Chains A and B, each alone.
Chain A
Amino acid sequence: MCHTVYAVHYMTPGTDNHELFENLRLELRRGSLILAVLAALRKEHYGYTLRKTLGDLGVAIDEGTLYPLLRRLESQGLLLSEWREEDKRNKRFYRLSSDGKVILKRLLAEWQSINSSLDGIV
């Protein structure tokens, strides 16, 4: 009983522990987002459709996170981008580069290995 009361207090928004949880959650999410973005970009997307696709699949990502991430991945050579007209508007389309494909394959293998290890631990 005492433990339950403590747990409720522990996670109340606005407390320091809530902030700590949020920071850890963001840290946990950060790596997964990179994986999700790389995997989604096996098919070509522009920013908005990529955000929608990820959101529909349960990986919500705001534009303040997505666009800087896309730029970073592109500068690391994992993505290719080009401005192209679609529906009478210029859009920037992203897709995985050949280096990106190799890295994604390795990252997925790593993620699966971590996942199965974690399954054993928790």
Chain B
Amino acid sequence: MNLLDRYLNAVAKGLPEAQREDIIRELSEDIRSEMEDKEAELRRPLTEAEQQAILKRRGNPAFLAARFRQDHRSVAFGPQLIGPVLFPFYIKVLSFNLGLTFIIIGTIFFTLCISGQNITLHAIFSSVFLQLLIQLSAVTLIFSLIQRHLNKYPDSWNLGGMGDGVHVDLKFASDMKLAKRTDRQVSRFESVSIIVASAVALVWLAEVRRHPFLIFGPAAYFLQLAPIWARMYGPIVFLTSLGIVRAVINLFRPRWTRLRTLVSLVLEAASLAILCFLLKAGSWVTVVESAGSHSAGIAAPLNLSTRASSTVC
């Protein structure tokens, strides 16, 4: 896939589906005409760097695609948090997350109902509201950070690297020669994403110990984490923190890649070791002592299914 195709693919991702093909055909024709004009002027084919320069002048594909959309909605609490460029993606991610969460909650409540648990309307509303709040806050925060980055560095993208998309990079790559070198450096976008995701994971890990409701939902009335998790808690927190340290180093030194590979290997080996311990332990979930005898039957199939899915993964 050549540079032009990669650029057009990236634009296409943000276009309204009904007009996507038509707009891409027209844009493609426009860019090809410009490239041909340039070739006629230079009397030779364009080099990759020259093609990149032409595409770079056309601007960030996400911004270009947004100009074709009729939807100019945004999220603002005072200042604008998420602009029209990111808004459709924000809605997609939020809908997917909320949909998945509500399916899980619905399944849990359904299981509780058929197992004879006493479910109050208050319990249903509070867990739905809590999940709504968590998802809304987390997704909005992440997209606000991306929007801030886009506002600050609107030209910070390049067509280098793998895949068919355009890689958004926190560094300002006005010199397109930089694009090729990004293969050997870690993008700051990736580092920031790891830091944010790991920090959220650490907070969640800390809270889950005190509030099992965050992992079991209403099933926390009669289910709890097995003792193996208490033993693995320290190593999991340590590995997550190590991942943050690695990302912080890469944030300030994107070219720190050799030792990073070694650290990544250590992290992956340690994660595998933890998984082995968890698999060997067999039981990941136990029944709370105060729960009735009718709850005992729920933990066993749950342990079996999680073990089976982990083994397959």
A and B associate in one complex: yes
Interface residues of A, Cβ cutoff 8 Å to B = 46-49, 51, 62-65, 67-68, 71, 89-92
Interface majority SS on B: helix, strand, loop or mixed? Answer: helix
Interface majority SS on A: helix, strand, loop or mixed? Answer: helix
- Across the interface, do A47 and B30 meet the contact criterion of CB distance under 8 Å? yes
Roughly how many angstroms separate A71 CA and B68 CA in the complex, as a whole number?
A: 9
25 contacts between A and B (CB under 8 A): A46-B29, A47-B26, A47-B29, A47-B30, A48-B30, A62-B58, A62-B59, A63-B27, A63-B30, A64-B58, A64-B59, A64-B63, A64-B64, A64-B67, A65-B67, A67-B23, A67-B26, A67-B30, A67-B67, A67-B68, A89-B29, A89-B32, A90-B25, A91-B29, A92-B29
User: Which residues from chain A contact B32 at a C-beta distance below 8 Å?
Assistant: 89
User: Which residues from chain B contact A64 at a C-beta distance below 8 Å?
Assistant: 58-59, 63-64, 67
Closest chain A residue to B68 by CB distance?
Answer: A68
Roughly how many angstroms separate A90 CA and B24 CA in the complex, as a whole number?
A: 12
Query: In angstroms, how far is the closest chain B Cβ from the Cβ of A119?
Result: 34
Number of interface residues of B (CB under 8 A): 16
Closest chain A residue to B59 by CB distance?
Answer: A64
Interface residues of B, Cβ cutoff 8 Å to A = 19, 23, 25-27, 29-30, 32-34, 58-59, 63-64, 67-68
Roughly how many angstroms separate A62 CA and B34 CA in the complex, as a whole number?
A: 12
Roughly how many angstroms separate A118 CA and B33 CA in the complex, as a whole number?
A: 40
Which one of A49, A62, A65, A92 contacts B26 once the chains associate, using CB atoms below 8 Å? A92
Roughly how many angstroms separate A90 CA and B26 CA in the complex, as a whole number?
A: 9
Query: In angstroms, how far is the closest chain B Cβ from the Cβ of A76?
Result: 14
Roughly how many angstroms separate A49 CA and B34 CA in the complex, as a whole number?
A: 10
- Across the interface, do B34 and A67 meet the contact criterion of CB distance under 8 Å? no
The 8 lowest CB-CB distance pairs between A and B, nearest first, are A48-B33, A64-B67, A48-B30, A64-B64, A47-B30, A68-B67, A68-B68, A92-B26
Roughly how many angstroms separate A64 CA and B59 CA in the complex, as a whole number?
A: 9
Roughly how many angstroms separate A71 CA and B26 CA in the complex, as a whole number?
A: 11
